[in-house]
């Protein structure tokens, strides 16, 4: 929809602005072809209003040849052709109106001098159309700027949402409830163990909060958090859960995004160990491989387990974060075979 036609106030302002050219045209008619004042006004005001509407078509020219994106010469040429065409059409309309006036009220018509006014009207028409086109290009550029601003805002909101979701997904409330239930059981059977568990849980939560707010942490910090998590889960699962870390030298100081490995370890426990009556080993590796760091979590998995829909939310968030931070350079590979589940994160070094 045309930006001026869709807004009644804009249209009123636009037509009001055209009174200027209308009056100017009357003055020019009086001074150059010696038309009488009344005839000049009766002729020029209606035809400029008609031309005001005709000039609205400049919008479609500027839509068809948007300024950034089209060759300037091509744009100018198209605008010029449009100006000449509409000016020609307008001349025909002027002629019609002049002869109509002549027939109805000869006293008010511009009279025989109309023919003398043709060059004046033609150049007036072309000039006005060019001005109208310029105004329309201005409107278009303003609209584009507004659209860009709106898109940027929308993107910001989306990013904020995604971050919030990521944060919320970081600590599974069921992990908390189950841990609290373990503490509740231990308070009577083994009070020192209950205290140890409470402290570990507090440490884990605090690390999650502190690290979650940072851009990057060292792998050592991430591993400390993972170890706490697994210690807590070991209280819950007893001897069903065994844990092993194989961390290459020189990997500990590598900078990594916080809570990237943590969801993989959580998955290993929830979808691996927790689904097997006898449990098993969660094995965490960290290796330097040239310019990249490889983090692997390996765990047994029951092939008959009920699988989370769409591959699980945890893995999805890890993939999303890798994509956002490293583009194609960071990735998560997942493979499952013969009752074993393997998740590997590969990211470029940031030391």
> Which residues make up the interface to other proteins (CB under 8 A)?
174, 177-178, 180-186, 188-189, 235-238, 274-277, 302, 304, 306-307, 309
- Strand pairing report for 280-289 and 255-256: unpaired
CB of 334 to other proteins, least distance (A): 19
Query: Regarding beta strands 255-256 and 331-337, do their DSSP bridges make them parallel or antiparallel, or are they unpaired?
Result: unpaired
CB of 65 to other proteins, least distance (A): 49
Report, in Å, the least distance between residue 168 CB and other proteins. Answer: 16
Q: Closer to other proteins at the Cβ: 239 or 253?
A: 239
- Which residue, 156 or 181, has its beta carbon nearer to other proteins? 181
The smaller minimum CB distance to other proteins, of residues 198 and 292, is found at 198
Angle in degrees, CA 265, 323, 246, rounded to 5: 30
Smallest distance from other proteins to CB 282, Å: 15
CA distances from residue 314 to 160, 170, 210, 264, 276 in whole angstroms, order as listed: 18, 8, 20, 7, 20
Separation CA 134–CA 312 (nearest Å): 55
Q: Which is nearer to other proteins, 228 or 236 (CB)?
A: 236
Helices marked H in the chain — which ranges? 8-17, 19-32, 37-55, 58-64, 72-104, 114-170, 173-189, 191-212, 219-237, 262-267, 313-326
- Minimal distance in Å, beta carbon 306 to other proteins? 6
Least distance (Å) between residue 281 CB and other proteins: 16
Degrees, nearest 5: CA angle 207-213-215: 110
User: Integer distance in angstroms from the first to the last C-alpha of the chain?
Assistant: 55
Closest approach of other proteins to the CB of residue 246, in Å: 26
**Selection from 54, 51, 32, 28 nearest residue 41 by Cα:** 28
Given the complex with other proteins, which of 75 and 182 has the nearer CB atom? Answer: 182
C-beta closer to other proteins: residue 240 or 331: 240
- Closer by beta carbon to other proteins, 137 or else 229: 229
Q: What is the DSSP letter of 215?
A: S
């Amino acid at each position: 929809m045309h930006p001026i036609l869709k807004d009644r106030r804009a249209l009123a302002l636009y037509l009001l602005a055209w009174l200027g050219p209308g009056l100017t045209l009357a003055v020019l008619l009086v001074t150059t072809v010696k038309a009488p004042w009344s005839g000049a006004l009766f002729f020029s005001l209606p035809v400029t209003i008609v031309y005001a509407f005709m000039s609205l078509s400049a919008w479609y020219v500027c839509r068809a040849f948007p300024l950034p994106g089209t060759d300037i010469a091509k744009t100018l040429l198209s605008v010029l052709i449009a100006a000449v065409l509409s000016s020609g059409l307008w001349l025909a309309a002027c002629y019609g109106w002049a002869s109509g006036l002549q027939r109805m009220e000869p006293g008010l018509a511009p009279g025989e001098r109309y023919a003398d006014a043709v060059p004046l009207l033609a150049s007036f028409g072309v000039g006005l159309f060019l001005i109208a086109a310029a105004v329309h290009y201005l409107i278009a550029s303003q609209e584009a700027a507004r659209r860009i601003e709106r898109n940027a805002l929308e993107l910001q909101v989306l990013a904020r949402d995604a971050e919030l979701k990521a944060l919320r997904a970081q600590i599974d409330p069921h992990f908390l409830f189950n841990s609290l239930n373990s503490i509740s059981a231990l308070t009577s059977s083994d009070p020192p163990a209950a205290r140890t568990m409470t402290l570990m849980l507090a440490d884990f939560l605090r690390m999650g909060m502190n690290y979650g707010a940072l851009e990057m942490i060292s792998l050592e910090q991430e591993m400390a958090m993972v170890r706490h998590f697994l210690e807590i889960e070991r209280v819950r699962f007893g001897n069903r859960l065994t844990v092993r870390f194989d961390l290459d030298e020189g990997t500990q100081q590598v900078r990594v995004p916080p809570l990237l490995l943590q969801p993989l370890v959580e998955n290993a426990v929830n979808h691996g160990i927790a689904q097997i009556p006898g449990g098993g080993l969660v094995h965490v590796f960290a290796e330097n491989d040239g310019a990249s760091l490889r983090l692997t979590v390996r765990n047994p998995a029951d092939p008959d387990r009920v699988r989370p829909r769409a591959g699980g939310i945890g893995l999805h968030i890890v993939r999303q974060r890798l994509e956002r931070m490293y583009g194609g350079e960071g990735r998560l590979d997942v493979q499952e075979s013969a009752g074993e589940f393997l998740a590997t994160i590969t990211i470029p070094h940031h030391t």
